[in-house]
Amino acid sequence: MTKPPVRIAISGAAGQICYSLLFRVAQGDVFGPDQPVILQLLDVPQALDAVRGVVMELEDCAFPLLADVIITDDPKVAFKDIDAAMLVGSRPRSKGMERRDLLAANAAIFKTQGAALDAVAKRDAKILVVGNPANTNAWILAQSAPGFPAKNITSMIRLDHNRAQGQLAAKAGVGVDAITKLVVWGNHSPTMFADWGNAELDGQKLADRIGDEAWYRETLIPTVAQRGTAIIEARSASSAASAANAAIDHLRDWVHGAGDNWVSMGVVSDGSYGIPQGLVCGVPVHCTSGGYVRIEGLTLDPFQRTMLDRTIAELVDEREAVIDILK
Ligand SMILES: NC(=O)c1ccc[n+]([C@@H]2O[C@H](COP(=O)([O-])OP(=O)(O)OC[C@H]3O[C@@H](n4cnc5c(N)ncnc54)[C@H](O)[C@@H]3O)[C@@H](O)[C@H]2O)c1
Ligand SMILES: O=C(O)C[C@H](O)C(=O)O
């Protein structure tokens, strides 16, 4: 028997990430090959004609799982009865622009959307914030949706996790799946910390197998941290297909589980690892089917502690920069 459709809101539907994302969600890459979906697409009024064009293309794909598409510029329509949301819509960083410049413009968007989420979404909906500055936008969303479970509001650091996994696998000369227990901590920004301290390769410590601490500290960490900037410099536009792919990985794992492996997710802090309670910070989690559980009790050495503290400090600064918008 055909399952009832799930509803997913996706904002920024006319943008470049969504041009990769929507087709894969409609194809079943998030919810599975037997799960119909209804796309509830949100964008600003001036972008709705472009959204209509994308929807024509979705129709032309004749996806068997695509049960319906709603197009709107009203977050309350987009978030009505949703099971999940991918909040991509915001202003992207352009060449020469610092990520922090985006804070104020995007904070206002997520304040409005948080109120709408609180008003009309199902309480167990799974929310992923992709639009930058993703962690702080997710923090604003959670603050603006006091009746919505904060645990279900997450931000994307999976692109950084995937980037680190790709670089480490290439260095070790193995397939990406061979590397497990990698973590990317913190803010989705150049302060993020790609941490191989617990990572394993075939059950052995990855750091021992690669055996090049200088490369890890001086090449891997900055390469991952600056990858978004390198792509903007090269493409004159921010990453799109890889960002869409990471969003799909994040939500698919949350919905279906990710086995024994760890993944990195931006989640609302419970105070563990010295991350101030309430901040949305990248941490390692186990995705169980339909939920996630923080990996607890890791011991951080002085290098790990310093790197984590640096990215936490930036998140605290970002919070201070936008806190007035909530008043
Ligand atoms: N977290 C990550 O790993 C990651 C990676 C890549 C990009 N991003 C971010 O994702 C965002 C989207 O990137 P893009 O390349 O698709 O940008 P884009 O400019 O191509 O598209 C953004 C879309 O958002 C829409 N939008 C703007 N304000 C909106 C609002 N209030 N409600 C709904 N939609 C709105 C725009 O009209 C546009 O269609 C950017 O903030 C970018 O920096 C995050
Ligand atoms: O850094 C950016 O602004 C782009 C994006 O977040 C990325 O990581 O590719």
Contact 283, 268 (CB under 8 A): no
H helices present in 144-260, as ranges: 158-172, 206-210, 213-215, 221-225, 227-235, 241-256
Q: Quick one: what percent of the chain has pLDDT higher than 90?
A: 90
Q: Tell me how far the alpha carbon of residue 21 lies from the centroid of ligand 1, in angstroms.
A: 12
Give the tokens for residue 130. 């992709």
Q: What is the pLDDT of residues 31-41, one digit of tens each?
A: 999 999 999 99
- How far is residue 43 from each of residues 71, 108, 188, measured CA to CA in Å? 8, 15, 23
Binding annotation for substrate: 93, 99, 132, 163
- The verdict on the CB of residue 88 being under 6 Å from ligand 1 is yes
Instruction: Give the distance from CA 212 to its chain's centroid.
Output: 30
Per-residue model confidence (pLDDT) at position 326: 84
Q: Tell me how far the alpha carbon of residue 224 lies from the centroid of ligand 2, in angstroms.
A: 11
Residues with catalytic function = 188
Q: What is the pLDDT of residues 169-208, one digit of tens each?
A: 999 999 999 999 999 999 999 999 999 999 999 889 999 9
Per-residue model confidence (pLDDT) at position 105: 82
Per-residue model confidence (pLDDT) at position 102: 76
Question: Peptide bond preceding 4: is omega within 30 degrees of 0, i.e. cis?
Answer: no
H helices present in the chain, as ranges: 16-27, 48-60, 75-78, 103-120, 134-143, 158-172, 206-210, 213-215, 221-225, 227-235, 241-256, 302-322
Closest by CA position to 140, among listed 121, 118, 120, 113? 113
For ligand 1, mutation pick of 70, 90, 100, 101 (most atoms within 8 Å of CB): 90
Contact 182, 293 (CB under 8 A): no
Considering every ligand atom shown, identify the ligand nearest to the alpha carbon of residue 131 and give its number.
1
**Residue-range domains of the chain with CATH:** 6-155 (3.40.50.720), 157-321 (3.90.110.10)
Contacts of 321 (CB under 8 A, 6+ apart): 100, 103, 104
Per-residue pLDDT, averaged over 239-245, amounts to 97
- The verdict on the CB of residue 156 being under 6 Å from ligand 1 is yes
Better-scored residue on pLDDT, 101 or 44: 44
Per-residue pLDDT, averaged over 69-77, amounts to 98
- The verdict on the CB of residue 132 being under 6 Å from ligand 2 is yes
Per-residue model confidence (pLDDT) at position 324: 87
**What mean pLDDT, rounded, does the chain reach?**
95
Does the structure show a pLDDT above 90 at 97? no
The pairing of beta strand 153-155 with beta strand 126-129: parallel
Task: Give the residue whose CA is nearest to atom 6 of ligand 2.
Answer: 228
Per-residue model confidence (pLDDT) at position 32: 97
Task: Give the residue whose CA is nearest to atom 4 of ligand 2.
Answer: 228
Which of ligand 1's atoms lies nearest the C-alpha of 159? 3
Per-residue model confidence (pLDDT) at position 93: 66
Per-residue model confidence (pLDDT) at position 98: 65
- The verdict on the CB of residue 93 being under 6 Å from ligand 2 is yes
